[in-house]
Amino acid sequence: QDPKIFNTVNDGGYSPLILACYRGNNEVAQFLIENGSDINGTSSMGTPLMASVVKGNIQIVKMLLSKKAAVDLADANGITPLIYAVQFNNVELTKLLLDNNADKTKVDKSGKTAFEYAVFSGNESLINLLK
């Protein structure tokens, strides 16, 4: 099998892996990851890791991190997976990303860090993780 086929994008610019992550299709995502799909491939909406974080899918996030997905890649708005985890109030994913060396000092295009979003949310658990 030619892994390049798994990195072909549709008209919207999405790879099969990004779509599987957004749709929460763990079996397809696992197959694609294990068969050479680009785990750091980007679309206008970000990376497979971002898609999995946005969907709150810890299983796919763990799978991607175990394959060394780039934890600090940002989307067009400068938002990293860590910032998304905080924006979606997901303490478990925030902790997992930090445990995998996510850079909490990264700022998005509006100049905000994950910590600032945590403070804005009022979520004490997130604030304490990011202090």
- pLDDT tens across the length of the chain (131 residues): 666 777 777 788 788 999 999 999 999 999 999 988 999 998 877 899 999 999 999 999 999 999 999 999 999 999 999 999 999 999 999 999 999 999 999 999 999 999 999 999 999 999 999 99
**Statement to judge: residues 81 and 131 lie in one domain:** yes
CA atoms within 13 A on the CB side of 123: 19
Could you count the other beta carbons within 10 Å of the beta carbon of residue 109?
A: 11
Rounded distance, CA 16 to CA 8, Å? 7
Rounded distance, CA 127 to CA 118, Å? 5
pLDDT score of 5:
74
**Statement to judge: residues 36 and 90 lie in one domain:** no
pLDDT score of 95:
99
List the domain range (segments joined by +) for residue 123.
71-131
**Statement to judge: residues 23 and 36 lie in one domain:** yes
pLDDT score of 2:
67
pLDDT score of 13:
77
Rounded distance, CA 69 to CA 40, Å? 6
pLDDT score of 110:
98
**Statement to judge: residues 8 and 63 lie in one domain:** yes
**Statement to judge: residues 13 and 46 lie in one domain:** yes
Could you count the other beta carbons within 10 Å of the beta carbon of residue 13?
A: 12
